[in-house]
Amino acid sequence: MLKKLLSGMVNQRQQDRKAELYRNFIRHEAKIGGRLFGPVPTNHRREFFCLDEHTWVWHEEWKDKAGQSHVQTTRYDVRPNGILKSQGNRYQKVEGREALRLYEAAKLYQQRIRSEIYTFAQ
C-alpha cells in the first residue's frame, strides 16, 4: 500500500514538473513573439504565441498616459474552412490582409523560437 502511495506521489511530481516546464516554454515563446513587431514600450506587455496546433494568441497590457490599465487579448482559431478571430465576446472571420499578416507573423515566430530556444534540438 505504501509503495503504491509513493509511486503515485512520484508520478504526480513528474507530471507537475512537465506542466511547469511547458508553461515556462510558452512564456518564453510568448515574449519572443511579442518582440516580432518591434520593441515593447515601457509600461507595456506584449505576447504572441502558438497555444496549440490550431490556436494563436496576441495579448497586450499597457497603461495609458492617465495611468489607466488596458488589456487586449485576441485569439485566432485556424480551421480548415478559415480563421476565426475572437476578442472578448466578438467573433469574426479573418480574411485578406489580416490573414496574410497573421501567416507572416506565424512564420517569423516559428523561425525565431526555433533559433532562440530550440536550436539544441535540431
pLDDT digits (tens, 9 = 90+) for 47-71: 999 999 999 999 999 998 898 999 9
Q: Is the pLDDT of residue 100 over 90?
A: yes
Q: How confident is the model at residue 1 (pLDDT cuts 50, 70, 90)?
A: low
pTM of the model: 0.79
Phi, psi of 37 (to 5 degrees): -105, 25
Does an H or E element contain 63, and which? strand 55-63
Q: How confident is the model at residue 120 (pLDDT cuts 50, 70, 90)?
A: low
CA distance 26 to 77: 17
Among 79, 87, 85, CA closest to 60:
87
Buried b or exposed e, range 62-73, using 16+ CB within 10 angstroms: beeeeeeeeeee
Q: How confident is the model at residue 33 (pLDDT cuts 50, 70, 90)?
A: very high
Place of cell 485556424: 78
What pLDDT, on the 0 to 100 scale, is given for residue 12? Answer: 79
Q: How confident is the model at residue 82 (pLDDT cuts 50, 70, 90)?
A: very high
Among 28, 40, 47, CA closest to 114:
28
Cell readout for 11 is 508520478
What pLDDT, on the 0 to 100 scale, is given for residue 117? Answer: 83
What pLDDT, on the 0 to 100 scale, is given for residue 37? Answer: 85
Q: Is the pLDDT of residue 22 over 70?
A: yes
Evaluate whether 63 touches 43 at the Cβ level (below 8 Å): yes
CA distance 65 to 99: 32
